[in-house]
Structures are given as C-alpha cells and as structure tokens.
Copies of this chain bind each other. A is one copy, B any other.
C-alpha cells in the first residue's frame, strides 16, 4: 500500500502525540485559545459533543434523572471542610477575588481594590459540595428518595500540562449526583450508571471499554468505591473514559444530608456521583482516527453524509444543484441508527477535490461527490470514510445509481458504526496480554521492542495499605498503572504477580493518559 498518499503529514505509527495534534487541527475540531490551558471548540468538534450530550442525556433521563443547574462559583468555605481532612491541602483552582475592573491613574486596567470580595469564590472544579448542600435542604423523608440529579456544565481545574480534549483547564462535562435510602440502592445505582456509560461508549461512540472497579488508591477522595470504564487507544495506552462513585455516607455526613426513615428515625443518605467529559472526544480521536484524519462514528457525526456537487461556475451548475438537492431531501427523510439521516449539501465555494479532503480529514462517514457525468448517468460517486483506499492508492469510490445509493445509505451508516467498533474491539483484544506471572516478566514486556505494548491482565491478591503502595511504586518505575478490576472476569486461579500470595482477582495494567 505504499502508493497511498495519506492526508496527514504525521503517521500514528511514527509519532502518536504529534499525530493526535494534527488530527485535531486537520479535522478543524479545536484550537488553542490564547487563554492558558483553555481551548476553542470549533464547529465539528462541538457538533460531536452536542451529539454525545444528546445521546447520553437521553440515557440519563431514561434512568429517572432530572437535569439541574448550580452556580459556577463555590464559596471558599465549602472547601474548608475538605481541607480539614487533607494534609498539606493545596488545590489548583481558579480563585475569584474581585468583582470589578477599573482603570488606574496610568489608564491600565486593574482589579478594583475597592471591590475585593470578603470571601473569595472558587470557579467550580466539581459541584459536589454545593449540590450536597442543596440535597441537605431538599431531602426530608424517605419519600424524597432516591433523589436523582444531573448537571451539564463547564468546570475548571488549573492544569499545568494540558492537551486538547484530554486535559484542559476548562472542560465540559456532566456530573450526576444522587441520594438514596441505603447502601444497597446506592451501590446498585452506581453500577447502573456505570452500565449507562458502558452502553453509551460502546453503542454510541463505538468505543469498546472495560467496566470495572478502580483499586483503593485510585478512588475519588471520599468515595467508598470508584468504578470506571477504560478504553484502549491506538498507542496501547489506557484512557479512563468515565467514572461512577459510591460515596457511602461520607459526603452526606459532611453536608448533613439526612432523611427520616420509614420508622421515623433520622438517617444519613447514601450518595453517588458520576461523570464523563469532553475527554470522550479525545478518546474517539485516538481510537477511530487514522492517517487521513478523524473518523466520526455515524451515531455522533454532526453530518453523516456530505454531498459535494462539482460546481464549475457555469449555467449547468443549476441542474447539478437540483440533482444534489433531491438526493439531500430523500436522505433527510430516511432513518439511520434510529434517527433521521443528517445530510449536508455543501455548496460552499471551493475546488471539489479540496473540499473532499476537508471532509475526509473531518471524518464524515459518507462522502457523495456528484459531477456532470454522474448526473448524466443518474449516478453518484460514493466514498466510505472507513474504507477509504483501494490498494492501488486511489480513493475507493463506488458508483451506484442515485436511488440505489439513497436506499443503501442507512444500512451503510449502520455498517460503518459496527465496523468502527469491531475494529477497535479486535485491536484491543489483540493488545491485551495474559499469562504474565511475575514482575520481572512484566518489566521485560514493557521494556521490550513493542512501540505500543498495550495492556497486561494479571492476577493479584488485592493488596491494601502499605502493600498496595509498594505495588503502585513498582509499577510507577515502569510508567504503569492499575486500570481496573473488570466486571465479569474469570476468577483468579494462580499466584499474585506482585506478592506471590494467592490471587483473588484479575486486574488490567497499562500505561495511561
């Protein structure tokens, strides 16, 4: 396949980090904003996020949640509670200290010294504490439970090293917060939302994920259990794509979230929280992108089909546009993946070939080019983004009759969605190594020649405390981390790879974002 001239200048195999940046730029998904650590999400990137929101929101609502909105500012004192328990507390957060700008004598703008806030406000890094306070107000009795809320919002964590979509100072996310009558119901809900994330990732985003429990040291501070979905990127690294926490009564005790139980007694609620963010978009890029740019799964592609008329600034253009418009309206009337087909007739000025490659780099699932000759023959030139090339180095155009194309496209979109998932799933399975039974073997494996070594599934004795810390330190020397203990894995049947004791479960080890 050496004849193929790919659309990007960097190949995944050569420099994955550089390739990632180039996809974002070539697909026109986002760019640096000039504000430290914050990005501008451009139409194609934001369009994908809107699709993520729409699909995940429907799943969250279907499980009984209402959306709410809490203030972006959180009083400093809300963090005092937390600080009391955290030794050497220091948190990277944006702190608002003034409420007015004023020009000084030299005409330079400064925060007005007269407008200093009595209590500084923190731009929310999460709404945990402020929603906890509200739950304490809202909940009186068991009749108010479960209380199931969710919020779509922007949050800020002052990150030192940022990477677009994966780690930015401001990011967009949803955060679910729920309160329950007891441990059983709260734990069940924690796992229900983990399953919602799994289904969303796999069915909507075509991201195969491993759902499982994080080990003790990776728990969200204050959580009793933290569960995650983990996806493997094309460089073999893991991306934590979503988390769901069972918080016990820890947060309820801190915020005073009590209810009168069925016998008239006062109890603390058991609470949960869970979130996913714009990081999912980074995960899709690193899972589905190829050396020609992004490949957007049809379920979340802002446009699933892009029609490109080969306009020539001549009178014949009118007939060509009419021919294309008929295709557009016919497709828009059809359903694919349970919704009307999202189809764009791109009439913008510009050369047809340049526009084709723009859409290839963005990763529109299907591109339809229509020139004069296509129209005369009642045909179209159809390109599937997931099967872009013929071995001879030419784009793999197909030339169906117009009606055939229209009839086939819903099925093609469905097929592309499945095929992106199947490819990613197959790749992940091929890159999970089993049977490594010692730290030395582990070190050897990750120290070897494989550029993108993937994950290792090992058995362990689930060490805790100091023993766990030792394991974490050992792994760290190889830049490795424990990802999670997968749900539904086969039982352990050998010794712990770290301690030599009898293993109790299987865990995934890998490098991670």
A residues within 8 Å of B by Cβ? 31, 33-35, 38-43, 46-47, 49-50, 66-77, 79-80, 83-84, 88-103, 107-112, 120-123, 130, 133-134, 137, 143, 149, 153-154, 156, 158, 170, 172, 348-350
25 A-B pairs in the complex with CB atoms less than 8 angstroms apart: A31-B137, A34-B75, A35-B71, A35-B73, A35-B74, A35-B75, A35-B130, A38-B71, A40-B69, A40-B134, A41-B68, A46-B67, A72-B123, A72-B170, A77-B109, A79-B101, A84-B107, A89-B102, A92-B99, A94-B96, A94-B99, A95-B100, A95-B101, A96-B96, A97-B98
| Cβ–Cβ contact A348 & B143, under 8 A | yes
Question: Which residue of chain B is the closest to A84 with respect to CB atoms?
Answer: B107
Please give the count of copies of this chain that the complex contains.
Answer: 2
- Return chain B residues, CB-CB under 8 Å to A79: 101, 109
The 7 A-B pairs with the shortest beta carbon distances in the complex, nearest first, are A43-B66, A38-B71, A41-B69, A95-B98, A99-B158, A95-B111, A35-B71
| Cβ–Cβ contact B121 & A101, under 8 A | no
- Return chain B residues, CB-CB under 8 Å to A77: 109
- Return chain B residues, CB-CB under 8 Å to A154: 72, 153-154
Q: How far is the CA of A41 from the CA of B66 in the complex (A)?
A: 11
A138 to chain B, nearest CB (A): 9
Question: Which residue of chain B is the closest to A131 with respect to CB atoms?
Answer: B40
Q: Which of B107, B108, B149, B350 contacts A143 (CB 8 A)?
A: B350
- Return chain B residues, CB-CB under 8 Å to A76: 101, 109
With A46-B66, A72-B170, A154-B72 already in contact, the answer to whether A100 and B93 are too (CB < 8 A) is: yes
Question: Which residue of chain B is the closest to A65 with respect to CB atoms?
Answer: B43
A93 to chain B, nearest CB (A): 6
Q: Which of B47, B49, B71 contacts A170 (CB 8 A)?
A: B71
| Cβ–Cβ contact B91 & A170, under 8 A | no
Chain B CB within 10 Å, residue with most, of A33, A41, A99, A108? A99
With A35-B75, A66-B46, A170-B73 already in contact, the answer to whether A91 and B97 are too (CB < 8 A) is: no
Q: How far is the CA of A74 from the CA of B38 in the complex (A)?
A: 10
| Cβ–Cβ contact A72 & B38, under 8 A | yes
A102 to chain B, nearest CB (A): 5
| Cβ–Cβ contact B33 & A71, under 8 A | yes
With A40-B68, A67-B46, A130-B33 already in contact, the answer to whether A83 and B103 are too (CB < 8 A) is: yes
A130 to chain B, nearest CB (A): 7
| Cβ–Cβ contact A47 & B35, under 8 A | no
A117 to chain B, nearest CB (A): 9
- Return chain B residues, CB-CB under 8 Å to A33: 70-71, 130, 134
Q: How far is the CA of A67 from the CA of B91 in the complex (A)?
A: 32
A304 to chain B, nearest CB (A): 15
6 A-B pairs besides A76-B109, A90-B112 with CB distance below 8 A are A35-B130, A42-B68, A46-B66, A49-B69, A92-B99, A96-B96
- Return chain B residues, CB-CB under 8 Å to A133: 34
Question: Which residue of chain B is the closest to A54 with respect to CB atoms?
Answer: B54
Q: How far is the CA of A43 from the CA of B138 in the complex (A)?
A: 12
- Return chain B residues, CB-CB under 8 Å to A103: 83, 88-90
Q: How far is the CA of A170 from the CA of B73 in the complex (A)?
A: 9
- Return chain B residues, CB-CB under 8 Å to A41: 68-69
Q: How far is the CA of A41 from the CA of B156 in the complex (A)?
A: 20
A279 to chain B, nearest CB (A): 14
- Return chain B residues, CB-CB under 8 Å to A67: 43, 46-47, 50
